[in-house]
Structure 1
Amino acid sequence: MYLAKVIGTVVSTTKDPSLGGMKLLMISRLDLSLELVGSSEVAVDTVGAGIGEIVIVSNGSSARFAQQNKDYSVIDAAIVGIVDSTEFVHE
């Protein structure tokens, strides 16, 4: 899992049936300073996140378990939490 910021929405009227009814958001990974790093990606929103929010993202096969359809899904990234606060200890 990693932290990301929601930077946009994705609308797709034609998609794999396993994505039917799912909200898709564009996200970008965050570093320890909560700055955007790397490229963006599309994630399924399972928690009702919105643009500008910092979220927890699950990747790979575990992301499929965030949705009800666990038998078959093309999901590779799922937003599984909205971050209220962060605290880092620098040693």
Structure 2
Amino acid sequence: MYLGKVIGTVVSTSKDESLIGTKLLIVARLSETLAPDGSTEIAVDWVGAGNGEVVIVSCGSGARQTNGHEDTVIDASIVGIVDTVEVHGQRGAA
């Protein structure tokens, strides 16, 4: 899993059947200090995340186990919206 920030959406009318009805978001990977690391990924949103929100992203087989989608092509899922992050006594709002 990693922290990410939602920076956009993806609309795809032609896609694998297992993705029909899913919301696809572009997520920028963040460090533990919430600084962008330069990489992005498309993730399926299961929690109603919006643009600009800091989220928790699960990858690989863990991403497919969300909401019973074990037989899909999903490789990244947004599984949480972050309220705060605390690192070694430092606290930051997401």
TM-score (norm 2): 0.90
1:84 aligns with 2:83: yes
Partner in structure 2 of residue 35 of structure 1: 35
Query: In the aligned structure 1, how far is the partner of 2:84 from the partner of 2:65?
Result: 25
Q: Report the number of matched residues.
A: 89
TM-score (norm 1): 0.93
Q: Identity rate of aligned residues, in percent?
A: 61
Which has a greater percent of strand? 2
**Gapped regions of structure 2 (runs ≥ 5):** 90-94
Q: Deviations over 1:2-55 (max 9, x none)?
A: 100000000000000000100000001101221111321100000000000000
Counterparts in 2 of 1:1-91, with a 5 A limit? Answer: 1-70=1-70, 72-89=71-88
Q: Deviations over 1:52-78 (max 9, x none)?
A: 0000000001100113332x1000000
**Gapped regions of structure 1 (runs ≥ 5):** none
